[in-house]
Amino acid sequence: MGLTCTKGSLRQPLRNPPTQSKRQELLERYYIPHHQKLTEAVQESLLANDRCLIIVGHSFPALPLLYELNQRAFRPDFCIGTDDFHTLEELVATVEKIWERWTMPLCSE
């Protein structure tokens, strides 16, 4: 949906698209400082521990939204973000075991 959402889940207008200058202002006010703090925290962890764990999670509505490419019926309650290079299989297995205790459907992508 992007940095500045202009349409809702039914593709209805929410607001007019921001001008390029307004978009840049939003980037500078929110996005850039947030990611700078995240980068600094990762660097501090790497210096102190030689590693850093970042957990990215995504929630889903019960039914697919009209604009989603994947319209399958199964919708996990929560999905952990993974990739083959950075994510250890053991970490995914541990998170899945924790989630099973909560009886929530979970996916990892």
Report CA torsion sign: 28, 56, 84, 74.
Answer: negative
Domain boundaries, the chain: 16-52, 55-109
Cα 11 to its chain centre, rounded Å, is 21
Give the model confidence (pLDDT) of 52-92 as tens digits.
988 777 777 788 887 778 887 777 777 777 888 888 899 88
User: How much is the average pLDDT of 84-101?
Assistant: 85
pLDDT band at residue 33 under the 50/70/90 scheme: very high
Mean residue pLDDT of the chain comes to 84
Q: Where are the alpha helices (DSSP H) in 1-109?
A: 20-26, 32-49, 89-101
Amino acid identity, residue 73? A
Task: Give Cα separations from 68 to 34, 61, 62, 65, 77 (angstroms).
Answer: 27, 11, 13, 6, 16
